[in-house]
Structure 1
């Protein structure tokens, strides 16, 4: 479930560890989780790690490369279920989506950033290969499987990043104030012209149960994929 409250930046690690590529990527992900993707810069990250920016350039030449490393670290968190060639393809696809969505939901601040980088690293390619293989097993053509796979990834990233009430890098009080402001704006609309929006104002501005929100999103996605499956 996405964390709504800003967390403290990870404590400093021993010098040898913090200068490894994996440790830098892990720290970058932690910083984005805590303060939002806008706060992630080479200089800000170096300060948090207690090193000079030049020390990080050995591993990542610029922020774009850093985001690539961050994406690789996130997709490495996806635990793929065992593949069963004789099992139901749709049930297995849902399990893969569950695992991918869980990894994205742990890092909502970067969900929209990493979706375009899934094919740029081995962990992401492993996830993509499994998804495409299961769609092909379900009867989708090569082109259609690719299209459905891309759409599914975009959908899952948006499910995570656009959850009503989600705020990254702010305090509980700041989040509550933002939610109340959006709710008040909808409540101020004309109930005659927008009766359904006014009635749904609370649900549209704050998700009461993140797990239910994510599950409904995947249910909707899978229903659409099943409906289009040739087999």
Structure 2
């Protein structure tokens, strides 16, 4: 066997066991089955290694979750800066939302981990810097930035029609049950809810839903801008 042939398998092994590859594998599991399915042992099995191999990169399950959040933040393509500040903020929120939309079963664990990766820190710095330029105090900017991130997560997690997303059969059964419950309401007591019932079951337009959500967040931020 030639020297080059002999070193290739070891090179592939090192690549396979990198932190980024293992975090990506964990994210794939979470996207399909939810975070409860992600364990050190499961990721090790899916990558044909022993659990001890993962401990070189992740001390425990929480550290593995940090790695998942890092992967998601790494997917955010921050846009070029524009003026005024609220237009820049809107562009940044849209970029973060685009990354979160690809991972609805994982999104809720992302906000608490924004300070644990270079990508997350970059997003936080951009948003807080924009809010500071709009005369928010340091504390107000930090709090408002976190409110905005948590609101984006809720937009993704609560998108109508995405209940039980990881299991199509469970999702269909849940939607049937939800439809029956909505349609059983007294029309005299809940006319507005019945008129809007379809929206709670199926999102008529994802672009309109998420676009309105970001518009709402930016308008709200403008509404509390310090004088």
TM above 0.5, yes or no, is yes
Deviations 1:54-74 (A, max 9, x none): 111111111100001111111
Figure out how many residues of one structure are paired with residues of the other and give that number: 215
CA distance in 1, matches of 2:57, 2:165: 27
Q: 2:51 aligns with which of 46, 53, 61?
A: 53
Q: 1:189 aligns with which of 185, 189, 203?
A: 185
Shift in Å, 1:161: 0.8
Aligned match of 2:13: 15
CA distance in 2, matches of 1:37, 1:169: 11
Aligned match of 1:132: 128
**Structure 1, 117-126 or 198-207: larger mean CA deviation:** 198-207
Q: Where does structure 1 differ by over 3 angstroms across 4 or more consecutive aligned residues?
A: none
CA distance in 2, matches of 1:229, 1:18: 48
Q: 2:41 aligns with which of 33, 40, 43?
A: 43
Aligned match of 2:141: 145
Q: Which residues in structure 2 correspond to 1:1-231 (within 5 Å)? A: 14-84=12-82, 87-166=83-162, 167-171=164-168, 173-230=169-226
Shift in Å, 1:29: 0.8
CA distance in 1, matches of 2:110, 2:13: 28
Aligned-residue Cα RMSD (Å) equals 1.4
CA distance in 2, matches of 1:45, 1:196: 47
Normalised TM-score (structure 2): 0.90
Larger radius of gyration: 2
Stretches of structure 1 that go unaligned for 5 or more consecutive residues are 1-13
Any idea what SS the aligned residue of 2:110 has?
helix
Deviations 1:104-147 (A, max 9, x none): 11111111101110011111000000000011111211111111
